[in-house]
Amino acid sequence: MYKIETHLHTNHVSKCGHLSAAEIVKGYADAGYSALIVTDHYNRTTFDFLGIDPAAPGDKLTPFLDGYRRVREEAEKVGIRVFRGAELRFDECDNDYLFYGWLDDVLAEPEEVFRMGIAGFALMARAAGGLIIQAHPYRRSCTPAIARYLDGVEVRNMNPRHDSHNDQAEAYAEEYGLIRTSGSDCHRTEDIGLGGIVTNYLPSDVLSMTRLIRSRRFELL
């Protein structure tokens, strides 16, 4: 069986992250994980933290993926697989969405994405094969999105500093037949290994990782 983390942040990209790539990999290796999905925040706060104007011309995606690349490089040393993801927030509200299986061009222009909102983004993301999971939909200041714009719901957000009302998220996912996921929402050392999924299949790349989540053939940590 393989343990896979679905929700974590690095201090290289996410302003709220406290852990470096090396610290993340050591912690998850010690916790017996086989794979990690790096989901640094993709929002206006992040690009301000990185000193990037999201509306300016040029490459904005490379600096956003710096945390993912650093974690992947560290993880290669210990045999842990690393996949890229993102945690999106649009201008319309404070909801956060875990986004998996995306192609570069989908997130290449942050200003356009932020203004798009979940309804417009869902159309574009699905056309490109992406998977949208709403993170902690019942946490304070968040609301569950209209179910047709979602592929799934994070029903076990295990961040110990927030009450994510996981029971309500579970009920929402069940009501609308959405994929159910679990994640540590890792920002600090004490968050490492609190959540994720367990499967008997270890994906080889980001597309097979996305197919695994779509298949629902996993258990929740």
Instruction: Tell me the pLDDT band of 80, cut-offs 50, 70 and 90.
Output: very high
Structural tokens at position 202: 């270890």
3-state secondary structure the chain: CEEEEEEECCCCCCCCCCCCHHHHHHHHHHCCCCEEEECCEECHHHHHHCCCCCCCCCCCHHHHCHHHHHHHHHHHCCCCEEEEEEEECCCCCCCEEEEECCCHHHHCCHHHHHHHHHHHHHHHHHHCCCEEEEECCCCCCCCCCCHHHCCEEEEEECCCCCCCCHHHHHHHHHHHCCEEEEECCECCHHHCCCCCEEECCCCCCHHHHHHHHHHCCCEEC
Report the chain's mean pLDDT, rounded to a whole number: 97
Q: What confidence score (pLDDT) does residue 27 get?
A: 98
Q: Mean pLDDT throughout 26-34?
A: 98
Q: What are the pLDDT digits (tens) for 161-209? A: 999 999 999 999 999 999 999 999 999 999 999 999 999 999 999 999 9
Q: What confidence score (pLDDT) does residue 103 get?
A: 86
Q: What are the pLDDT digits (tens) for 135-166? A: 999 999 999 999 999 999 999 999 999 999 99
Q: Mean pLDDT throughout 101-116?
A: 95
pLDDT at residue 121 is higher than 90: yes
Q: What are the pLDDT digits (tens) for 45-67? A: 999 999 999 999 999 999 999 99
Among 161, 174, 164, which residue's Cα sits nearest to residue 138? 164
Instruction: Tell me the pLDDT band of 44, cut-offs 50, 70 and 90.
Output: very high
* CA dihedral of residues 131, 1, 157, 7 (deg, nearest 10): -50
Under 8 Å between Cβ of 201 and 212: yes
C-alpha 89/C-alpha 95 separation (Å) is 6
